[in-house]
Amino acid sequence: MRRATLLRSVARLLDDGTELHDAAFMWTRHRWMVPYAVIAAGAVYLASQLAGFTETPTRVALAFAAGAIAVNATTDYRIVARTSRGLVMLRASRIRQYAVGVLERLPASTPIQAVGGTVFATDWQVGEAVFTVPKSSEGAIQRIAHP
């Protein structure tokens, strides 16, 4: 179901006559994501203390929420798609695996290769950037990289 939604969202953004072969969901985090999250969490922890929240678990929960928001704000979600006219990079929704706009058409010579990963996701270099690809899109990115 999620995969079908992803493919439909990409197909609706493509030019007429362009056939969608495959698409993979991925994300990249800003290089300063960790400092931003720590600063946001620390600031909210201190602000909650100054605001009169006396219970430590409440202040920690608020700080954790602020850190999570900072992480989400510094994450860019993307979709790479192989079409009948080449590779396309699309902007994806922050909420679900859904294409919201075309960013650019990538040259045919754009390198797409695996560069690492974990049990839950793999890291792929697409052009100059390294993206994290969830296991649900791993097969798709492999098909895109090696048509």
The reply to whether 83 and 109 lie within a common domain is yes
Handedness of CA 101, 107, 109, 111 (dihedral sign): negative
Give me the CATH number covering residue 13. 2.30.29.110
The reply to whether 95 and 38 lie within a common domain is no
The reply to whether 19 and 47 lie within a common domain is no
Q: Which range marks the domain in which residue 121 is found?
A: 2-30+76-145
pLDDT for the residue 117: 84
The encoded tokens of residue 81 equal 């798609």
pLDDT for the residue 1: 66
Total structural domains in the chain? 2
The reply to whether 53 and 111 lie within a common domain is no
- Global pTM? 0.81
The reply to whether 50 and 15 lie within a common domain is no
Where the chain has pLDDT below 50, the residues are none
The reply to whether 67 and 85 lie within a common domain is no
Residue with tokens 């798609």: 81
The reply to whether 63 and 24 lie within a common domain is no
pLDDT for the residue 53: 87
The reply to whether 128 and 85 lie within a common domain is yes
**Which residues are bridge partners to 113 per DSSP?**
125
In whole angstroms, what is the distance from residue 124 CA to residue 113 CA?
A: 5
